[in-house]
Amino acid sequence: MRLRSLGCLVLAVIVAAELALSADAERLKNAELTLTEMAAVSDKGVPPELFKKAKCLAIVPSVRQAALGVGGKYGKGYLSCRRASGGWSAPGAIGITGGSVGLQIGGSATDVLMLVMNDQGMEHLLSSKFTVGAEASVAAGPVGRDASAQTDITLTAEILAWSRSRGAFVGIALEGATLSEDSTENKALYGKDISNKEIVRGDIAVPAIAQSFIAALSKY
């Protein structure tokens, strides 16, 4: 009986590990799809010139609303930063939470894309946790091929942000949202405890499960 119970426990652990791996793969695939669709070169996408200037990028697919006594919003995603060589780093995992930050339109799940435009914004993004607005300046990103109409915003904001919900694609300010490092996801990806700063600034190879995501990012 004891051996049977131990066997059931081991099986449960294996199944849980496999489910976690599948969840990672699905989230990375969703992040890749979100990137591809939101960064499409069109009059409704993120201006291509902003991608060229960006120091880092963060994608959080399917930010959802929850009500556990108090309403809130929550999502998980990934970040990557440009290396000195010009290529993109291996991905680090992040989470986003917020109470009333306008992450949703019409109550549906929302995709969020952020571009970090300077070194100060990068330091905030790579910290273990920071609050948008209080610790980093974030502005609603302009939409379309030509961002010249909002030159002042793109030059002064540390981070530019966009959201997509039910086909609507808009810039958002994300005021009050909190971005934090997802250490559990990083450990699942890399098999050890590792911070986003170590991933981005170290010579860390892209995990096989994340190569398709980084390949898609490398187009921008």
pLDDT of residue 41: 57
Kindly report, residue by residue over 121-144, the tens digit of the pLDDT: 999 899 988 887 666 777 778 776
pLDDT tens, 53-112?
899 999 999 887 654 444 557 889 999 999 988 899 999 999 988 754 445 444 567 888
Rounded-to-integer distance, Cα 111 and Cα 63, Å? 6
Question: Averaging pLDDT over each range in 82-86, 146-150, 213-217, which range is the top one?
Answer: 213-217
Q: Which domain holds residue 136?
A: 2-217
Mean pLDDT (the chain) is 77
Spatial separation of the C-alpha atoms in residues 14 and 8, rounded to whole Å: 10
Tokens of 170: 């808009």
Rounded to 10°, the helix 2-38/183-190 angle is: 100
* Pairwise pLDDT comparison (176 vs 192), residue with the higher score: 192
Contact 73, 92 (CB under 8 A): no
The helix/strand/coil state of 88 is strand
pLDDT digits (tens, 9 = 90+) for 17-55: 433 444 489 999 999 999 988 887 566 678 888 888 899
Whether residue 146 has pLDDT greater than 60:
no
Nearest to 164 by CA among 35, 28, 25, 50: 35
- Report how many domains make up the chain: 1
